Amino acid sequence: MWKKSLCLLIPCVLIAYYCYAPIPHEIEQHWELMMIWSFMRIQMHIAPLLEMLGFGPFPLLEILVVPPISDENVTVTDNLFNNVSVRVFVPKQKSSTPRRAVFYIHGGGWVTGSAAWGPYDELGRWMVERLDAVVVSTDYRLSPQYHFPTQFEDVYDALRWFLRKKVLAEYGVDPTRICIAGDSAGGNLAAAVNQKLLNDPEIKIKVKIQSLIYPVLQALDMDLPSYRENSHMVIVKKQQMAEFWSRYFTSDKALLEAMVANQHTPVESSHLFKFVNWSTLLPERFKKGHVYTTPIHGPSELAKKYPGFLDVQASPLLADDSTLRRLPLTHILTCQYDVLRDDGLMYLSRLRAADVRVVHEHVEDGFHGILSFGSSLLNFRAGKREVNKYLKWLKENL
């Protein structure tokens, strides 16, 4: 009898382990989110084995890929912009005037994600239908096969190609109504390429809006209040974010271990902490109950071997004020239950201090990835609400 009970108990414990997650009561559709999280956890646990067998980091997510299918409203094509894969969405209805455009960069921690994923494909179609916009959704090479700055360079190369007058004219785009947008790691890349555009003498087009959706913006301090409060939150945990960051730069586990301990920045780079000091940059409500401690310095050897995590093109929050004050109208979306919340809030503070026009939306019951959860595939009510609000704002301001 006890053997049967044990056989029943073991799978029950495993199911509970993979399904349960400490989801705050404010978040809607608890059970649906738990089921999605359990799928993600299973994938993360088998990922190392699959990588040893020659697969990519998250091969099970290939089920999200959809082909470029046109319909009565939009023509969808997969193209190459300067040898970078992009998915382009163009309205079928003729227009007597040039259209607005959105250059979109997907998330995925620089290790996964694709413009061909269903949620991103659907977002591109919604932008066409609701904004009457041309949408370019770009891909980029992923880690661990490729490390920084490859991802940044791929996005920048595709963007420079798109911003050529000849290309804009080919797609019927108004060069004064262009938005560069991205979510999560894509928000990081959007912020970084926008900064570089400012100093590129060959690019004469001025971007009208940059839109950063729960962006990851700095790799120096992984002990922000949002990291403390959401260290075990679903979708992206503190440990996962450290893994994403370290893989962006190297496959060396030494950097990962140092980042998890928040002891990776060398003393000679301590002057950079003023750009990411949450005790001075966060609004009071987000600092409540937290005490700032200066990160412990790490060995100089790590920074010498992997200088990327100190590079402004990887951590846009490290940009100085002279760069920030030249940026365009900025839209930032942050979520309460997200380890990356404070990255967006600190950038918000720095941009406002630099007299940049900033529109901030904070989703009190939101979690990382909420816009993608508004897709037909995942069908979260809160996600749909945020997508609708986001597209409405873009239509009114772009």
**Whole-prediction pTM:** 0.92
Whether the pLDDT of residue 7 is over 70: the answer is: no
pLDDT tens for 137-155 read 999 999 999 999 999 999 9
Segment 381-387 shows an average pLDDT of 93
Phi, psi of 333 (to 5 degrees): -115, 125
Last residue of a domain, one of 269, 286, 310: 310
Whether the pLDDT of residue 4 is over 80: the answer is: no
67 domain-assigned: no
Segment 238-261 shows an average pLDDT of 96
pLDDT given at position 9: 44
Whether the pLDDT of residue 158 is over 90: the answer is: yes
Q: Are 173 and 123 in contact (CB under 8 A)?
A: no
Write down the catalytic residue from 121, 139, 221, 338: 338
pLDDT given at position 28: 79
Same domain, 211 and 336: yes
Same domain, 293 and 333: no
pLDDT given at position 173: 98
Last residue of a domain, one of 277, 310, 343: 310
Domain total in the chain:
3
Q: How many CB atoms lie within 10 A of CB 201?
A: 5
Same domain, 129 and 89: yes
**Percent over 70 (pLDDT), the chain:** 87
Same domain, 175 and 110: yes
20 domain-assigned: no
382 domain-assigned: yes
**Rounded-to-integer distance, Cα 298 and Cα 263, Å:** 5
Same domain, 204 and 328: yes
Q: Is the dihedral of CA 360, 363, 364, 367 positive or negative?
A: negative
Segment 17-33 shows an average pLDDT of 68
238 confidence band (pLDDT: 50, 70, 90): very high
Residues 6+ apart with CB under 8 A from 184: 107, 108, 109, 213, 214, 215, 216, 236, 340, 368, 369
Residue 368 designated active-site: yes
Write down the catalytic residue from 221, 226, 368, 375: 368
pLDDT given at position 10: 46
Same domain, 142 and 245: no
Residue 338 designated active-site: yes
**Rounded-to-integer distance, Cα 134 and Cα 138, Å:** 13
pLDDT given at position 62: 76
Assign 196 to helix, strand or coil: helix
DSSP 104-148: EE--STTTS--TTBHHHHHHHHHHHHHH--EEEEE----TTTS-T
22 domain-assigned: no
Angstrom distances, CA of residue 383 to CA of 136, 151, 232, 305, 312: 22, 27, 21, 41, 31
Same domain, 177 and 95: yes
21 domain-assigned: no
Residue with tokens 């992984």: 222
17 confidence band (pLDDT: 50, 70, 90): very low
Q: Which DSSP state fits 298?
A: B
Same domain, 106 and 188: yes
Q: Are 349 and 282 in contact (CB under 8 A)?
A: yes
Segment 110-126 shows an average pLDDT of 97
Q: Are 175 and 165 in contact (CB under 8 A)?
A: yes
Same domain, 47 and 115: no
* Tokens coding 69: 């299918």
Q: Are 200 and 225 in contact (CB under 8 A)?
A: no
Whether the pLDDT of residue 243 is over 60: the answer is: yes
Which strands sit side by side in the sheet containing 99-105, from one edge to the other? 74-81, 84-91, 134-138, 99-105, 173-183, 209-213, 329-337, 358-367
User: When comparing pLDDT for 294 and 10, which is higher?
Assistant: 294
149 domain-assigned: yes
Whether the pLDDT of residue 294 is over 60: the answer is: yes
Segment 220-224 shows an average pLDDT of 96
Q: Interhelix angle for 381-397 vs 118-131, to 10°? A: 40
Phi, psi of 389 (to 5 degrees): -65, -40
pLDDT given at position 32: 77
5 domain-assigned: no
Same domain, 99 and 205: yes
Residues 6+ apart with CB under 8 A from 138: 81, 84, 85, 86, 103, 104, 105, 106, 115, 154, 155, 158, 159
Whether the pLDDT of residue 255 is over 60: the answer is: yes
pLDDT given at position 26: 80
pLDDT given at position 35: 73
Distance in Å from the first CA to the final CA of the chain:
68
pLDDT tens for 185-202 read 999 999 999 999 999 999
User: When comparing pLDDT for 392 and 25, which is higher?
Assistant: 392
pLDDT tens for 44-74 read 666 666 666 666 666 667 778 999 999 999 9
Segment 226-235 shows an average pLDDT of 90
Q: Are 264 and 296 in contact (CB under 8 A)?
A: no
- Residue 139, domain extent: 72-218+320-397
pLDDT given at position 378: 84
pLDDT given at position 27: 80
Same domain, 79 and 142: yes
Averaged pLDDT score across all residues of the chain: 91
Q: Are 369 and 312 in contact (CB under 8 A)?
A: no
Segment 310-336 shows an average pLDDT of 98
Whether the pLDDT of residue 15 is over 60: the answer is: no
25 domain-assigned: no
Write down the catalytic residue from 143, 184, 246, 269: 184
